[in-house]
Structure 1
Amino acid sequence: MSDRLIPVLLLSTSVLAGLTACSDNTTENTVKTSENAPKSQDVAAQMPIGINVAAMTPTVKPGDDFYTYANGEWMKTTMIPADRSSTGAFLVAFEATEKHKTSLIAELVKAQHAAGSDESRIADFYKAYTDTAAIDAAGMKPAEADIARYEAIASKQDLSAALGGNLRADVDPLNATDFYTENLFGIFVTQGLATPGEVLPYFLQGGLGLPEREYYLSADPKMVDIRTAYRAYIETLLKDAGVSDVAVRAERIFTLENKIAAAHASREDSEDFAKSSGVWSRADFDAKAPGIDWTAFLAAAQLVNQPKFAAYHATAITGLSALVASEPLEAWKDWLVFHHINSHADVLPSAIDNASFAFNGTKLSGTPEQRSRDKRALAALDQYLGDAVGHAYAEQYFPASAKAEVSAMVDNIVAAFGQRVEKLDWMDPSTKKEALAKVATMAVGVGYPDKWRNYDSYAVTATNAYANAINGEKVEYSHQLAKIGKPMDKGEWWMTPQVVNAVNLPVQNALNFPAGILQPPFFDAKADAAYNYGAIGAVIGHEISHSFDNNGAAFDSTGAMRNWWTPADFAQFAKQGDALAQQFDTYAPFPDLHLNGKLTLGENIADVAGLAAALDAYHASLNGKEAPVIEGFTGDQRFFIGFAQTWATKMRDEALRARVATDGHAPGMYRALTVRNLDAWYTAFDVKPGDKLYLAPEDRVKIW
């Protein structure tokens, strides 16, 4: 588990659900009243305002720089922690959750547990992971058998079997926009994009040590500098692992990876579901992707009898397979050894772990210091025993009252979204009927799942952190493969309860809102409703809206990828999307780097539509009464400020550049500017022509 950029989902999707499904009457003109919604001016005035007034710079004109108006003092005074590449509202919630987990795990480690229990697994995993003296004393011995397997490869058939045996369920193109795996291919298992009702294994491209293909192909000087550092890092890691002839081997690995990168699909194409919906039969692999011995590969991958596959990166499968045939066997063996070490650096000796952080953490993300081992152990537990930790966390730290409060808000915002669809004057009745069916059948999970993961097959030891990681990967792979050929579980969660994030699941037509994000600064049960609707309400609206963004709109209410639009309706939808992409293209965090409006379009659509639905739901929650003024701020002002403050973000330059290059989510400071597209923001802050952020009414993007 190396220190690299991990996609966030909401919130960058990404990152992963629940008990309460939306009712079938979500389009009715009724909205539940939260228990904490203001009942009168006097009651509301006694409630915490929610927004952080001290974080603001009120002397800045909102219409000129709304982000600084809402977050200016915070930006001046906040320092990025030395062990982080960024900070913001998500880190605040994350650190609160981490504090709770630290206390929870400390109690489990001190106690005695029944053999084979989840409590025992958690305690033993933590003990092994934090025992760096034992890890250092063991040296490379725990990995010797795996490395020996690669060194023993003597033919392309052997190589194919090794590549297949390394296959893991470590990617997620639909829910997390996570395309990264160091194995040559990654597997993802759910209903196929083109096979409604049929759960398939998806094949995705992989095999790179750098975040994605542009790091290898771009002529930008900063990318060239990173490539030079990466080439040196390969050599360093091999040397620290005791490998011989490191210069020769590193050059072979680096050369091979550049060819792998050239075979990859682009990030933009990766996020285009229509281009990724192909289905291959077993025979198609031999016909369309010669080079790999697919019988040996699939047998080692436990997929030899699988008749059908989702070829998510079809062109890359062809290109990567050809490289297996054309590139020297020695290069592939070196590549396997390096990536095995690189992907398990955190459970190998300190020299390897430190070298990994120096490149992946500092060079790529600008983070000066490695996180402490105990905190990294918590993250590792979330990866390998996430549901076991989440079960204990939810029982102790997520009260039923919070679940009820947020569930009511979800119902309100779903209802508001349905009402917005009902009122669309540009949409044909047939398209509108399909859209409303999606709203009505959306399954929403709040806090935690109703079924917990069983880890009985996961063998964990208190003395071998490396073995725990390897075993955990294999258990997860088997867990995912077991779903193939069975009915899709619409209630399946793709996040653990303790994660600070949220997710839309397009083929399940479902949403997950984990307990980790249902706390300040996103949700405060004591705070004014305006703040909560602007903060967590916008998050809820965002995830609902993903069902209707440029990708989500391609799925119907059953999760099938099907065109349910009339040509005229889709043209109108696409026109608004193009306008929003152009809007974000104008934002430039550096003089030489603009945002990619097409790459971030799905997230930006979800922000615009979600914020509008959350505002409607807030207004409805007032039950016809005027919103109170609290500390000089109107209800709508508190709503919009609350939204902007949840996107307070400071990033190191390296991390910001990487985010713009690889992530489907715009950086937070630009997501806060979503407000420019809502008429109510102009009224709330008296924004007029001539103000820097002013958009003429006809230029404001209105989607859903």
Structure 2
Amino acid sequence: MTLRIMVLASTAMVAALQPALAAPAARPAAAPVAKGAIGGWGVDLSGRDLSVKPGDDFDTYANGKWKARTPIPDDRPNIGTLALIDEQVQAQMKDLVAGMPADSQVGALYASFMNEAAVEQRGIAPLQADVAKVMAQPDKAAFARYMGAAQGTFGISMIDYGVGPDTANAGLNVLSLGQGGLGLPERDYYLKPAFAPQREAYVAYITRTLQTLGVPQPADAASKIMAFETQIATLSWDIARRRDRSATNNPMSSAQLAGYAPGLDWAAYFDGAGVAPQPRIIVRENTAIRDIAALYAQTPLETLKLWQAFHVADQASPFLTKAMVDSRFAFSRTLTGVAQIKPRWKRGLELVNSQLGEAAGQAYVAKYFPPQSKARMQALVANLRAAFETRIQANPWMSEPTKQAALAKLARIDVMVGYPDKWRDYSALTIKPDDLYGNVVRAARFNADYAKEDLGKPVDRKKWGMNPQTVNAYNGGAKLQIVFPAGILQPPLFDPRADDAVNYGATGAIIGHEISHSFDDQGRKIDAKGAIADWWTPQDAQRFEAEAKVFGDEYARFEAAPGAFINPKLTMGENIADLAGLQVALDAYHKSLRGKPAPVIGGLTGDQRFFLSFAQAWRANQRMDALRNQVTTDPHSPARFRILGPLPNIEAWYQAFGVKPGDAMYIPADKRAKLW
């Protein structure tokens, strides 16, 4: 989401409009303009729509003209700051990867994908061999064993597994189980009338795929698969419930699991996964897993084979013939509204990033992430951490014992910037420049084994869950880590040459967002050791939940697409982190001034630049189908509401832009959410 337009609005025009926006008692002299990459000092003022009052619609005020002149590319579901940074990173990665030797792992994998003629020549022969293995499974026990192995290659399982910190002893990795088995993005796609077109397109895609595989009566078989997945969806937990760390903390031993959910041959399943009997497994959606196991016992083996064969083909299709690729895309476009498939080179980079991400990332940071960027980012993080500490200490509704526990947790959080301290070793992985299908199978298995090898071992808090070139950031939850990859640290989100207010409003708010996740509605259930524990007093928890409900009710009124309203139970954690992150970033910016008044730049006060930078960071245009998909499946609110949601709860925003009663976004002071 960034458009690099470097046209400044007239300073005289901006200055003339200032009295209508804010009226500070005294203004410091204008400061020399910084040399930022965007608009001279960091903000694209030409993107604003000054016909809209800031207090009526701050997104349109800050970004309206940019939105009007920025079409969504045919191969994207959206366009905005993050998407445009991603486009830049992809262009940089293309130059790097395409220039790597064909005998290197990254170069060979990319070359195997780009050799479309060789892929067409092989046809679907590699796939047919894998489908034959599925159809040859003799009984339910063998099929359970196949599902256990499927996570390392093409295929699907009704139950998924992963490895991560124990909920009681976060220093040790244990196995976790979760519900699975669905081909559509979320259970609502099977159950709600609004998604009938997507269901129809899905069945048509299944039918086409089975026909290609030579399955007799493919339409009837597709109906059986859809009916089976709909049964799974009916038994599955919805996505909002799956966020609840308390509800998903259900430890069992392997023997207890077998007694709790007897419909599946767990010994065979774990044998296929290569996992020995475990003394402790975190069974996340426990009732759903129990009921899905019972459904497994009731489902004919032939239906299970058809379901698995389709999903093997579905997952393999991006690495097969153009006909298979196009058939899959014809269905997927119904989910996002994207009109055109990505060019092959972009899809090749996606493969490299997914299978050899750190190998490619090591080359990326060497060329595109200078040491001064890392140092500046680390200083920002330190300032944000200090500001959050102050905010905890001053929190009016939090008792002293809870404050001390929160401060202890904050002190233990590790923050990692740019790239990992230790790079992954891929030397045992065989990649051939003329074997795309084989490369993907071998790489998927290699990466699955890499993830699984941590089982039963101490948690390595220095391991990264994202590639350095990723345009994103994350909070590692029980690992007590926050990670900011090099890819996201680009203008206008982060620019060492830009005005401080701009960096604090964009990157600072993201840093604060990730820190705040450790104290949101679910992060607060993890203590300073990384274990799930109730470390808040009951009174503090009650007050927090009351304020969270006030905040959630504000978001419940947002209609992202016709009839598609934001679900505050799903988005609560991200919404809280957006608000808290913005507040903490503003505190840190004010502290960075060291008691001096902020300079005026471009006719704008420091706080005005801060809030405009925040809004620019989240400006975006999104397709309606993509919005519906996001509201249904994503814990993040759509970009527009990441602007409109937090701001009306921050007094400094009212002061900066002269927002008054009667303005559309105005919330009386006693009705605003007061969380962090």
TM-score (norm 1): 0.90
Secondary structure at the aligned position of 1:425 is classed as: coil
Secondary structure at the aligned position of 2:575 is classed as: helix
Gaps of 5+ in 1: 1-7, 9-38, 114-119, 171-180
| Residue of structure 1 in register with 2:497 after alignment | 526
Alpha carbons 2:127, 2:316 under 8 Å: kept:
no
Secondary structure at the aligned position of 1:589 is classed as: strand
Give the partner amino acid of 2:135: E
Return the match for 1:400 from 371, 374, 378.
371
Alpha carbons 1:194, 1:278 under 8 Å: kept:
no
1:183 to partner: Cα distance: 2.8
Secondary structure at the aligned position of 1:556 is classed as: coil
| Residue 337 (str. 1) matches residue 321 (str. 2) | no
| Residue 233 (str. 1) matches residue 222 (str. 2) | no
Deviations 1:412-432 (A, max 9, x none): 001000000011122111100
Query: Partners in 2 of 1:169 and 1:679 — Cα distance?
Result: 52
Give the partner amino acid of 1:266: D
- Which stretches of structure 1, 4 residues or more, deviate above 6 A after TM superposition? none
RMSD: 1.7
Return the match for 1:682 from 654, 657, 664.
654
| Residue 147 (str. 1) matches residue 138 (str. 2) | no
| Residue 562 (str. 1) matches residue 533 (str. 2) | yes
| Residue 445 (str. 1) matches residue 416 (str. 2) | yes
Secondary structure at the aligned position of 1:318 is classed as: helix
Alpha carbons 1:105, 1:123 under 8 Å: kept:
yes
Instruction: Evaluate the alpha carbon distance shift between residue 169 and residue 318 of structure 1 in structure 2; reply closer, same or farther with a 3 A threshold.
Output: farther
Give the partner amino acid of 1:81: P
1:63 to partner: Cα distance: 0.4
Alpha carbons 1:194, 1:277 under 8 Å: kept:
no
Return the match for 2:244 from 262, 272, 276.
272
Give the partner amino acid of 1:133: A
| Residue 98 (str. 1) matches residue 90 (str. 2) | yes
Report 1:327-476 matches (<5 A): 327-360=299-332, 362-476=333-447
1:41 to partner: Cα distance: 5.1
1:532 to partner: Cα distance: 0.7
| Residue of structure 2 in register with 1:173 after alignment | none
| Residue of structure 1 in register with 2:6 after alignment | none
Give the partner amino acid of 2:123: G
**Between Structure 1 and Structure 2, how many residues are aligned?**
646
Instruction: Evaluate the alpha carbon distance shift between residue 519 and residue 159 of structure 1 in structure 2; reply closer, same or farther with a 3 A threshold.
Output: same
Secondary structure at the aligned position of 1:599 is classed as: helix
| Residue of structure 2 in register with 1:490 after alignment | 461
Deviations 1:668-687 (A, max 9, x none): 00001111111000000000
Query: Partners in 2 of 1:508 and 1:685 — Cα distance?
Result: 40
Alpha carbons 1:608, 1:702 under 8 Å: kept:
no
1:284 to partner: Cα distance: 1.7
Query: Partners in 1 of 2:370 and 2:324 — Cα distance?
Result: 42
| Residue 514 (str. 1) matches residue 498 (str. 2) | no
Query: Partners in 2 of 1:54 and 1:41 — Cα distance?
Result: 20
| Residue of structure 2 in register with 1:177 after alignment | none
Deviations 1:274-316 (A, max 9, x none): 1001111111222111121111111111013333211112122
| Residue of structure 2 in register with 1:208 after alignment | 182
Secondary structure at the aligned position of 2:170 is classed as: strand
Give the partner amino acid of 2:145: A
| Residue 671 (str. 1) matches residue 642 (str. 2) | yes
| Residue of structure 2 in register with 1:174 after alignment | none
Alpha carbons 2:365, 2:468 under 8 Å: kept:
yes
Alpha carbons 2:34, 2:497 under 8 Å: kept:
no
Deviations 1:536-579 (A, max 9, x none): 11111100000000010111111111111111111111111111
| Residue of structure 1 in register with 2:173 after alignment | 199
Alpha carbons 2:414, 2:481 under 8 Å: kept:
yes
Alpha carbons 1:51, 1:645 under 8 Å: kept:
yes
Secondary structure at the aligned position of 1:701 is classed as: coil
Deviations 1:128-181 (A, max 9, x none): 1111211121112112332111111121111111111213499xxxxxxxxxx9
Alpha carbons 1:168, 1:187 under 8 Å: kept:
no
Query: How much identity, in percent, do the aligned residues show?
Result: 40
Return the match for 1:317 from 289, 313, 319.
289
Instruction: Evaluate the alpha carbon distance shift between residue 99 and residue 45 of structure 1 in structure 2; reply closer, same or farther with a 3 A threshold.
Output: closer
| Residue 548 (str. 1) matches residue 519 (str. 2) | yes
Query: Partners in 1 of 2:379 and 2:137 — Cα distance?
Result: 58
Deviations 1:184-209 (A, max 9, x none): 22222111223433211111111111
Alpha carbons 1:241, 1:352 under 8 Å: kept:
no
Return the match for 2:159 from 180, 185, 191.
185
Alpha carbons 1:194, 1:279 under 8 Å: kept:
no
Secondary structure at the aligned position of 1:343 is classed as: helix
| Residue of structure 2 in register with 1:49 after alignment | 41
Return the match for 1:326 from 286, 293, 298.
298
